[in-house]
A and B are shown apart, each in its own frame.
Chain A
């Protein structure tokens, strides 16, 4: 119930391509879904987030698509750049506990 399943584990994309990372959850009590970007040896940085009453949110090259009925959400990175190479984590927030449950992470490599 508390798990957030993330796929793929790793992803290689050519520069300019679209990177897509998917997450699925079971617990309908989750009320907020952020994506974090983490570079090696650094803490995670908030990239973009969405609430379940919205189906899509776009910020620059980053878009979250949210399917409440399927309990799935995904991150799309348009025009991927080598500088986007990092590990991406989806997460789900449970309001009552104010805690985040993280996905297992996706290591993205964007080839020049």
Chain B
């Protein structure tokens, strides 16, 4: 149980284009999802907290207009990287917390974004 999927697993795009990453909780409902960014050999850095039906809460230094988050249902959150640039290349990982309770975050497999 508590499986989280991400799509796509890897994406390569040209500079200036937008990329959408989906995060789905497959066997549970998740009112709250989180988006992280991870650079090679570094820890996970929280970008934003996504709450179903409301605006996401962004961490300090994360541009909300560049990283658009939508959490339209209890099983799906999306992260759109707008006007991507090479410095946005990274490993993006989402996590979800069960609506039914608990504090454990279950992580997706991650999405490798490469911006050329």
Contacts and interface: CB of A to CB of B under 8 A. Distances in A.
Contacts of A103: 43
Interface of B, helix, strand, loop or mixed by DSSP: strand
Interface residues of B, number: 23
B108 A43 contact: yes
B42 interface: yes
B32 A41 contact: no
Given A99-B34, A100-B46, A42 B109 contact: yes
Interface in A25-77: 31-32, 34, 36, 41-46, 49
Given A89-B44, A99-B34, A105-B43, A41 B112 contact: yes
Contacts of B6: 43
Contact of B103 (A42, A95, A105, A107): A95
Nearest to A46: B104
Interface string B1-21: 000101000000000000000
Contacts of B112: 41
Contacts of A44: 44, 93, 107
Interface residues of A, number: 23
Contacts of A98: 32, 49, 97, 103
A98 B91 CA distance: 22
Contacts of B95: 43
Nearest to B49: A99
Contacts of A43: 4, 6, 93, 95, 107-110
Contacts of B28: none
A97 to B, nearest CB: 8
Contact of B104 (A34, A42, A97): A34
A102 B43 contact: yes
Interface of B: 4, 6, 32, 34, 41-44, 46, 49, 91, 93, 95, 97, 103-110, 112
17 contacts: A34-B105, A41-B110, A43-B4, A43-B107, A43-B108, A43-B110, A44-B44, A44-B107, A46-B104, A46-B106, A89-B43, A98-B97, A98-B103, A99-B46, A99-B49, A102-B43, A105-B42
